[in-house]
Structure 1
């Protein structure tokens, strides 16, 4: 993942500065909060030189699977359709007139399977990042500042007051120190994440609670890894 950070338009004092104990604790539990919730509704904005992609759907952080609908932005509809993914595989269902939201039950046929690409695809990198934003245990709050995590400023997301923090250097967090920004609420809830990917000059943005969470049902014939 290549570092790519933009100045934020939030109000209040700006960093970077060292995390306070409370901030480190909230950053340490933010992925665990997603796991505790079971799943979150997401909108994933994927950059692209020929036009971007938007994935609107849900991520099941206990089942380790995501599902949603893909729409092209500033490009044709050839990539539009339904998508379900795990850490190793992607299942796509092309649709000429993709709906705004994916149906709760995936269609029983018309799916094409492929491996999730570890590099070279902004879409696949975005899908992998989204899955890694949940963890079955908190991180070590004491180690986060030592590994490069920092406070960057304050902002508002959909009416929620949040602190903006850069994540630490850690393979499990999908980046090196400074490449990942988290918008985190007072209770550790994650509201937005932005991360640079090596294949694109612009960052991926993952927004949470953009619509109602719909539990993920597996594509017929596919058993998600648990």
Structure 2
């Protein structure tokens, strides 16, 4: 099953032959996935899990300007870690962040960092529950964690549940297919709420997800830098 975010709970994402016949600039109408495209989408999360983790850049919109998280996600232990920087007027959350599927740990910092330190600080962390609704930040964190799974998704069910091919595109110098995910389980009307940028080798390069709390989507770019394994901060239970 694929993360289809109308409510972000842990409805997860599921997902080289025929690259796109249309150029990224050629307008086309969405269409059902071919069998080959469905197979590629179905193994994207599994490839992330096999890799152990991916570097991520998470862009979270909000009315104050938004947040950008630069860091890594461990798909074996379901643990994320990164630097948070505010855009526009929203700088109150600047610092370090770690998160699991149930908790968020924040470490305020006055100095701006481009990358999180490999070893998290030994003190100064504040813990809170991860909110599964009403927070674009927490929705984005949960989506990022759900982009890995220990087995492939069911390729046959993806088109049946509304997954579509949207268009061709380019991202990070790679030619990709943009695919809209199927409806979340027991959530009719949510097909297409999450879009996946998938290359010919089934590697996932970007995810764009609609969240109920914001008019603009969350954007997660993967493998933007070399992956650095995540070390848990004090008190983080994986």
- Distance (Å, rounded) in 2 between the aligned partners of 1:176 and 1:37: 29
Question: Are positions 1:85 and 2:99 aligned together?
Answer: yes
- Distance (Å, rounded) in 2 between the aligned partners of 1:60 and 1:124: 17
Unaligned runs of 5+ in 2: 8-22
1:118 is aligned to 132
- Distance (Å, rounded) in 1 between the aligned partners of 2:229 and 2:92: 27
What do you get for the CA RMSD once the two structures are aligned? 1.9
Offset from partner CA, 1:140-188 (integer Å, 9 cap, x none): 1111000000001101111111000000112499x92110000001011
Whether the 8 Å contact between 1:147 and 1:177 is mirrored in structure 2 is yes
Whether the 8 Å contact between 1:117 and 1:124 is mirrored in structure 2 is yes
1:106 is aligned to 120
Question: Are positions 1:209 and 2:223 aligned together?
Answer: yes
2:183 is aligned to 169
Q: What SS does the corresponding residue of 2:168 show, helix, strand or coil?
A: strand
1:154 is aligned to 168
2:29 is aligned to 15
- Distance (Å, rounded) in 1 between the aligned partners of 2:113 and 2:105: 17
1:56 is aligned to 70
2:86 is aligned to 72
Offset from partner CA, 1:27-68 (integer Å, 9 cap, x none): 111111111111000000000011100000000000100000
Offset from partner CA, 1:99-151 (integer Å, 9 cap, x none): 11100000000000000011111100100010011111111111100000000
- Distance (Å, rounded) in 2 between the aligned partners of 1:118 and 1:76: 22
Taking structure 1 as the reference length, the TM-score comes to 0.92
Taking structure 2 as the reference length, the TM-score comes to 0.87
